Structure 1
């Protein structure tokens, strides 16, 4: 059971982080095309480069887990990004909301299995205290 959870976590998280890194690279390398789409959704174009950096750093943070706080901050940032993207596409009526929905589902699955495989910070603290005792 634990092995299946780890395989599921790493598969889903790998897919999710690959999706975010590809998205960030498109923001940089296909700037003109993405800028037109961003403007059509009502977002300012100057957000593209900071959003690309945030997506890349968030994906790296989730994969490397430098601290629980940073990992959870990355998950939260992606959550708000996808909610806003989904809402913007629905409001624009362009029918392009599927990418945000898929990313949201991958994010939720990754977060759920992260908790199953690695536990929460409070659970880790209790285990650490038991080991020291």
Structure 2
């Protein structure tokens, strides 16, 4: 059973990290397009580059086990980022809330299975 929990953890974490890396890539390569989206959502455009860099650093933190506390902070930061993205898209009704909802579900599953594998390894 422990093997399946570890596999589920890596599957959900990898899918979530792919979404975050893809979004960071778009932020870094298509600045003008993203700037238009940010302005439509009511966010300042100076957040685009720092947010892209923080997403990349967060993905690195989730994939590499540097420190459990740091990983908890990364999960927390991603939770707030995805929830805020969901509500921003929902409020202006542009259809982007679906991707944010998928990301939120993947994040929750990733966290749940990471905690399960973390708890199991501490018991043994």
What residue is the counterpart of 1:113 in the other structure?
A: 113
- TM-score, normalised by the number of residues in structure 2: 0.94
Correspondence 1:1-133 to 2 at 5 A = 1-119=1-119, 124=122
Q: Using CA pairs below 8 Å that are at least 6 residues apart, which structure has the higher relative contact order?
A: 2
Instruction: Write out per-residue CA displacement over residues 1-32 of structure 1, whole angstroms, 9 at most, x where no aligned residue.
Output: 11111111111111111111111111000111
Deviation digits for residues 34-79 of structure 1, max 9, x if unmatched?
Answer: 1101110000000000100110000110000210111000000000
**CA RMSD between the two structures:** 1.6
Runs of 4+ in structure 1 off by over 6 angstroms are none
- Aligned residue pairs: how many? 124
Structure-1-length-normalised TM-score: 0.88
Inter-partner Cα distance in structure 1 for 2:11 and 2:91: 32
**SS of the residue 2:66 aligns to:** coil
Q: Where does structure 1 lack aligned partners over 5 or more consecutive residues?
A: none
Q: By how many angstroms is 1:111 displaced?
A: 0.1
Name structure 2 gaps, 5 residues minimum: none
Residue 94 of structure 1: how far off its partner (Å): 1.2
| Structure ID, larger Rg | 1
User: Is the partner of 1:65 in helix, strand or coil?
Assistant: coil
